[in-house]
Amino acid sequence: MLLSMNWISDFVDLSGLDKLKLINQFSLSTAEVENEIFFKGSDIEGIVVAEIKSVDEHPDSKKLHLLKVDAGDGSLTDVVCGAPNVRVGMKTAFAKVGAKIGDITISPRALAGYTSYGMCCSEKEIGISDDNSGIMDIAEEVKNGTDIKELYQIEDIVFEVDNKSLTNRPDLWGHYGIAREFAALADRPLKPLDTVNLDDYKNLPKIDMKIEDSLCQRYSCLQVENITKNVSPVNMRIRLFYCGMRGINLLADLTNYLMLEMGQPMHAFDSRKVEKLRIKRFDKPFVFTTLDGVERNIDENTLMICNDNTPVAIAGIMGGLDSEIVDDTTRLTLESATFDAVSIRKSTVRLAHRTDASMRYEKCLDPEMTVPAIARFVKLLTDIDSGVKVVSSLTDEQAFNYETIKLDFDKAFVNRYTGIEITNDRIVKTLESLGFKVKLDGDNFSVTVPSWRATKDVTLKADIIEEITRIYGYDNFDINTVSAPILPVRADLEKSAEDRVKDILVKRYSLHELHSYVWAYHDEYKALGIEIEDNIKLVGAVNPNIETIRKSIIPTQLCQVKYNTGFSSDFGVFEIGRVINGLNADNLCNEQKKLAITLFSKTKSVEALYFELRGMLSVIADDIKHKELCFESKTEAKSYQHPRNLNTIICDGKIIGEIGIVHPTVSKKIDKKAAIVYSEIDMRDFAQIANASIAYEEPGRFPEMEIDLSFVADKFSTIKAAIDEQNSSLIKGVSVSDIYTDESGKSITIRIRFSHPERTLTGEEVKEVTDKIINTLSSSGVMLKQ
Amino acid sequence: MTEKLTAVKQSFETELAAAQSLDELENIRVSYLGKKGSITELLKGMKDLSVEEKKDFGGKVNVLKNEATEQIALKMKELKEKEIEREIGSMPEFDLSVPANLSRGSYHPITLVQRECERIFKSMGFNVEDYSEVVTDYECFEALNIPKHHPARDMQDTYYLENGQLLKSHTSAAQNAIYKKYKSALVNEGKPIKAIFPGRCFRNEATDACHENTFFQMEGVMVDKDISISNLIFFMKTMLSEVFKRDVKVRLRPGFFPFVEPGFELDISCAICGGEGCPSCKHSGWLELCPCGMIHPEVLKSGGIDPEEYTGFAFGLGLTRLAMMKYGVKDIRDLNSGSLKSLSQFTDDE
């Protein structure tokens, strides 16, 4: 919202004060002011009122005229002018030689064979409106040579307040409310609004008006007639223009002016069209044409202003075309009302039509403002057009009751909340300057909230704290730390597991951490031939491509791998992110936190890559939990999973995840030749696993003995089981030293380490154990390699 | 016999002088001093000599044997030194101008700034909390004093799910659970609630260089008996000075958020121009950084905490924005792009 410093100064005397400093203070205490401040009129100089004394046709041009003007300096000046509205005796704005308009300095200039010693100006050229249809037409009584800046309020400081920062301040949607803030900040009195006394008309007839729907909180109206003027005064139009509005005609300008001044939207109807004013909703939808000529669909939730049963305006949003003021309108009905803010906002959204009026109504306007707004409107109107007659008494109806808000608190409360010392005097003064009524009894305050702050803004004691502190100034606060007991902060198990997993994968395995979205991208999945698993969906997403929430990170990760195939021949990525696996019994989402890893390689065999990934997972389990992993083959594969070598990962007897190869169809779409393997671990399940404590074992003092044995076997687990079965305390470790395939099939060479804590082992003792292992295995068909 | 001895001595000395390697030296040792070596043989050949001769000749042979042993040892030392020298000489000079192979991984920039913030807050005694991405309407709005018809609840801003839950639109959605989690420690043990909760948030909107539907925030709260605005400013200033590793100036302006009262927009002095005004701060010298405020009494009440007895402050830091500021990322979409060209650049930064 644009604000004029001249306008504010109508209501508070700010003379002698640094205006820019005040604006900055306003930004820090009230609402955010945009950085650019406009110094209106500073770019024009030397423009005076001049009278056109003669007008001659230009011999070679149909458009140009040759003028002699009297700029009040005792001689006539020759001017060549292209404006269509020139006439003898007209007074206009004249830029003399040497005058400045923006970056241009006026100098004598040849135009089609004649020299022009200056320029007659339109309002647009001076920067006071967008009217460029002709040169300015100034009242005859003004003395020639008068500086235009003395004649009109062209010089002004205009600043813009971010509308978002006014969301909760319905009182700040007009200059008067803003002036109240400046008065409080500058510690100067706020002047009352100059209005007519509506009681003067109380004997006139009432308007036939009735609120039939409580969505209308208050409706005030008054009829006037005998308006003879059509054009607003220049100063009024300048203010409207500076504040971002176009001048239209006196009535439209006045309603706009009043809205910008008091924040109260008003509307003027042709009284013939609103003989029986009714405010209500309709049972059935219909089409309504607003005064901008647009046909709009009105539904049963939209509040309408009606003439009996004929809608004439959308309440709080826009008037109708049919009830607009027209040329033969003689009597006007002025509307000043408040409506339910939520209802207005919803209607605005439904109609996709936001107006200056609806923007204000959405903020919960002060219902006590409707009547003063009418009184002010009539005052402004009669000041401009003295013949105007009020022909009805004030007709005012209220459809809701609100209670005055009173808040009680004491000094200790203020001290506790602010942490600084603010005197009682200062508290009283601040609140009173903002319109609060304050009673102070010792250290106890009793505060009455003014109506313009009471609609939703100030309802609690904490709200009062804000009023006191923002005017006090946050820059003036002493800042202090707290006094609280010092207590240890325990690291969260899950959080630290997450951090350590990331460190291992990045630092030890050079993997890259990526983030992906929580939903499945239909297009990307489709391109890779991945089926979207059925899961809970978003409702009304802006992008329909992202409807379904993912059940696993892997598919989204594969889409990312596809995107990065050109990055390197070998790379690995990981993410710790969320997935949803359907709904729990309580109908709430089963959200899970997963670690997903995908490895991509064009140089390694899929087996080598698979084992690399297995190694990473084992290191994670060993490093963080001091636990080993087991794997169990899984048969049920999803669309992107290779059915072979799909294994569940088991730690501490609990399934914590999966490891697998990407299905060849998907894999080939990512890269024709690359090996791609993946794993996904449930981070919460993993974090819950108890950390095995370190079991220290004295290093043996006697030599170890190592025995290598080769078996024709398919899986090491078979051999391992046979060894474990012996339960021999002499066995200190088993490792695989070779795996190879020859004519007798796959062979596994293992190395067993033996030792005894108290003596050197004999060959016989060791052989006894190995023989048992060999026998156990051979009895189950696994033969020792000869 | 004496001639024989002289001949053996001469040939030994000649061969020894000619020896070039340790292997040759070993051969020489064996051929003279070994079991069947020439010098050993000399002693064996003494059996035909008289006792007198034996004594005399034996003595000479022993002298020769000792001399030979000593000379071989000397020669060995010499040859070993030569060998080391040769090894040193044969070592080529390496070309260190060849770039090193930095096969290294990367952290997501959010992880980096998040860890930094967590470290700072942990050092000030704050708990780091984790919270879900899917929350209820109650957690996200109701408990935060956001009324039923508030624009923030509009469908166009929030991702609602079929079951009525939603993807959290701000980390404040975790506040209620955190108050409930720690309120007994607060009330019974006098332990202030000090917690931060970083997390991913979602807004149902179209994306561009400045807007993302998925982004990270970090919320922080502190609740105790006498937490004041003065404390809030202190913590924000201290924390932000740590984050930016300089003494930042902070500025509070009124800001409206339903879950705080009073609510503030916090600005920090612009690091680029030092407050003079530059394009980064739109010539104001200040950067709007984080909303904060005193926790609204209704919000405390929803968390089971009596607002007449306790007060607190809350703030929300845009982790995504912080990461963008810190690393000069201009397009917000880079962060979720999954592109290794951009994201592989972020390494451990603490």
**pLDDT of the residue at A625:** 95
Q: B193 and B330 share a domain?
A: yes
Position A52 confidence tier, pLDDT thresholds 50, 70, 90: very high
Burial A119-151 (b: 16+ CB within 10 A, else e): bbbbbebbbbbeeeebbbebeeeeebbbebbeb
pLDDT at residue B156 tops 80: no
Instruction: Give the model's confidence band at A684: pLDDT under 50 very low, under 70 low, under 90 confident, else very high.
Output: very high
pLDDT digits (tens, 9 = 90+) for A331-347: 999 999 999 999 999 99
B244 and B200, same structural domain?
yes
A531 and A599, same domain (yes or no): yes
Q: Which residues of B touch A493 (CB under 8 A)?
A: none
Cβ–Cβ of A477/B108 closer than 8 Å?
no
pLDDT band at residue A324 using 50, 70 and 90 as cut-offs: confident
Q: Residue B280: what pLDDT?
A: 77
Dihedral Cα B292, B297, B301, B306, nearest 10 deg: 110
The CATH number that applies at residue A645 is: 3.30.930.10
Chain segment B33-89, per-residue pLDDT in tens: 888 888 888 888 777 788 888 888 888 888 888 999 999 999 999 999 998 999 999
Asked if the structure places residue A575 within a domain, the reply is: yes
Please provide the DSSP assignment of B98-136 as one string.
Answer: SPP-----B--HHHHHHHHHHHHHHHTTPEE----SEE-
Side-chain-facing half-sphere of B186: CA atoms under 13 Å: 25
Asked if residue B86 and residue B121 are part of one domain, the reply reads no
Residues A532-576: tens digit of each pLDDT: 999 999 998 778 788 999 999 999 999 999 999 999 999 999 999
The whole-number pLDDT of residue A15 equals 96
Nearest chain A Cα to B237, which residue?
A: A479
Q: Are residues B80 and B123 in the same domain?
A: no
Q: What is the pLDDT of residue A682?
A: 97
B26 and B72 within one domain: yes
Q: Which residues, 6 or more positions from A416, have their beta carbon under 8 angstroms from its beta carbon?
A: B226, B228, B311
> CB-based contact (8 Å) between B190 and chain A?
yes
> Is the pLDDT score of A635 beyond 90?
no
Q: How far is CA A238 from CA A126, A243, B11, B60, in A?
A: 11, 8, 126, 133
The domain of B55 spans 2-90
Interface mutation target, options A589, A590, A603, chain B, most CBs of B under 10 Å: A589
Q: How far apart are CA A563 and CA A233, in angstroms?
A: 65
Closest by Cβ to B161, choosing from A486, A536, A542: A536
Quickly count: other Cβ atoms within 10 Å of residue B294's Cβ: 27
- Taking an 8 Å cut-off on Cβ atoms, the answer to whether B343 and A518 are in contact is no
CB–CB contact B254 A31 (8 Å): yes
Report the residue from A477, A491, A567 with minimal CB separation from B341: A567
Instruction: Tell me: do A327 and A436 sit in the same domain.
Output: no
Q: Select the residue of B107, B192, B235 nearest A513 (Cβ to Cβ).
A: B107
Cβ under 8 Å to A: B residues 206-225: 206, 213-214, 222, 224
- Name every chain A residue with its beta carbon within 8 A of the beta carbon of B233: 474, 477, 479
- Residue B202 contacts A, CB cutoff 8 Å: yes
What is the pLDDT of chain A when averaged over all its residues? 94
Per CB-CB distance under 8 Å, the chain B contacts of A420 are: 228-230
pLDDT digits (tens, 9 = 90+) for A739-770: 998 888 899 999 999 998 888 989 899 999 99
Q: Does any domain span residue B101?
A: no
Nearest to A681 by CA among A642, A639, A651, A643: A651
- pLDDT tens string A647-664: 999 999 999 999 999 999
Is A722 domain-assigned? yes
pLDDT at A41 over 80: yes
Which structural domain, as residue segments, surrounds residue A386? Answer: 198-398
- The percentage of residues in chain A with a pLDDT greater than 90, rounded to a whole number, is 85
Same-domain status, A149 and A181: no
Determine, yes or no, domain membership for B305. Answer: yes
Q: Do A560 and B338 touch (CB under 8 A)?
A: yes
Assigned domain for A614 exists: yes
User: How many Å apart are CA A313 and CA A277, to the nearest integer?
Assistant: 11
Together in a domain, A380 and A527: no
Quick one: B203 and B298 in the same domain? yes
- For chain B, the average pLDDT equals 90
The predicted pLDDT at position B199 comes to: 96
- With cut-offs at 50, 70 and 90, classify the pLDDT of residue A122: very high
Please check whether residues A172 and A26 belong to one and the same domain: yes
B253 CB neighbours in chain A (<8 A) are 27-29, 32, 474
Residues B153 and B259 grouped into a single domain = yes
What's A419's DSSP letter? S
Residue A441 and residue A540 in one domain: no
Residue of A nearest to B288 (CA): A32
ipTM exceeds 0.90, yes or no: no
Interface-testing mutation among A466, A478, A507, A524, with chain B (most B C-beta atoms within 10 A): A466
Of A460, A484, A509, the CB nearest to B192: A484
Among candidate residues B150, B144, B216, B215, the one with its CA nearest the CA of residue B178: B144
Quick: pLDDT tens for A206-232. Answer: 999 999 999 999 999 999 999 988 889
What percentage of residues in chain B have a pLDDT greater than 90?
61
b/e burial code for range B310-319 (CB count within 10 A of at least 16 → b): bbbbbbbbbb
Interface contact flag, B111 A587, Cβ < 8 Å: no
Shared-domain flag, residues A659 and A709? no
CATH of the domain at A299: 3.50.40.10
Query: Per residue in B91-133, pLDDT tens?
Result: 999 989 888 877 789 999 999 999 999 999 999 999 999 999 9
Structure tokens at A666: 């998907």
Q: Are residues B113 and B54 in the same domain?
A: no
Residues 6+ apart with CB under 8 A from A695: none
Question: Contact at 8 Å (CB) between B310 and A482?
Answer: no
- CATH number, domain of B140, equals 3.30.930.10
Last residue of a domain, one of A364, A398, A432: A398
User: Do A710 and A683 share a domain, yes or no?
Assistant: no
Q: With respect to residue A192, please indicate whether it lies within any of the assigned structural domains.
A: no
Structural domain contains residue A696: no
Q: Please check whether residues A110 and A138 belong to one and the same domain.
A: yes
Quick one: average pLDDT of B196-206?
93
Interface of B with A in 90-119 (CB under 8 A): 103-108, 110-111, 115
Whether B89 and chain A come into contact, CB under 8 Å, resolves to no
Does A589 contact B129 at a Cβ distance shorter than 8 Å? no
Contacts of A495 in chain B (CB under 8 A): 128, 130
Testing the interface with B: which of A24, A28, A518 to mutate, by most B Cβ within 10 A? A518
Q: Are residues B142 and B186 in the same domain?
A: yes
Find which of A538, A550, A619 to mutate to test the B interface (most B CBs within 10 Å of its CB).
A538
CB-CB neighbors (< 8 A) of B235 in chain A: 481
Q: Is residue A305 part of a domain?
A: yes
Tokens 């709005």 correspond to B141
Q: pTM of the prediction?
A: 0.85
**Pair B73, B217 in one domain:** no
Same domain, A551 and A673: yes
Same domain, A354 and A413: no
pLDDT-derived band at B350 (thresholds 50, 70, 90) equals low
Q: How close B96 gets to chain A, by Cα (Å)?
A: 23
Beta bridge partners of B252: B266
Establish if B333 belongs to a structural domain: yes
- The pLDDT value recorded for residue B37 is 87
* Distance of alpha carbon A147 from alpha carbon A95, whole angstroms: 10
Write the CATH number for A774: 3.30.70.380
From A350, A367, A398, the end of a domain falls on A398
Which of A482, A513, A563 lies nearest to residue B111, judging by beta carbons?
Answer: A513
- Give φ, ψ of B74 to 5 degrees: -60, -45
Number of domains in chain A: 6
User: Each residue of B165-187: pLDDT tens digit?
Assistant: 999 999 999 999 999 999 999 99
Record the tokens describing residue A551, joined without a space.
């059940």
Q: Kindly list the residues from chain B whose CB atom is less than 8 angstroms away from the CB atom of residue A505.
A: 105
CATH number, domain at A51?
Answer: 2.40.50.140
Q: What is the pLDDT of residue A399?
A: 87
What is the pLDDT, as a whole number, of residue B50?
Answer: 83
Residue A71 resides in a domain: yes
The alpha-carbon gap from B245 to the nearest alpha carbon of chain A, in Å, equals 19
Q: Does B188 touch chain A (CB under 8 A)?
A: no
CB contact under 8 A, A515 and B160: no
Contact B255 A165 (CB under 8 A): yes
pLDDT (mean) for A410-422: 95
Does residue B229 lie within any of the structural domains? yes
> Does some domain include residue B96?
no
Chain A contact set for B297 (CB, 8 A): 460-462
* Residue B43 placed within a domain: yes
**E-only strand ranges, A613-653:** 629-633, 647-651
Single-letter amino acid, residue A266 = M
Over residues B214-232, mean pLDDT = 96
- Domain stop point among A398, A416, A449: A398
Nearest chain B CA: its distance from A612 CA (Å)? 16
Chain B from 256 to 315: CB within 8 A of any A CB:
256, 261-265, 282-284, 294, 296-297, 311
B40 and B126 within one domain:
no
User: Residue B108: which of A475, A489, A514 has the nearest Cβ?
Assistant: A514
- The tally of domains found in chain B comes to 2
Same domain, B116 and B188: yes
Same domain, A592 and A498: yes
- Subunit contact B262:A465, Cβ cutoff 8 A: yes
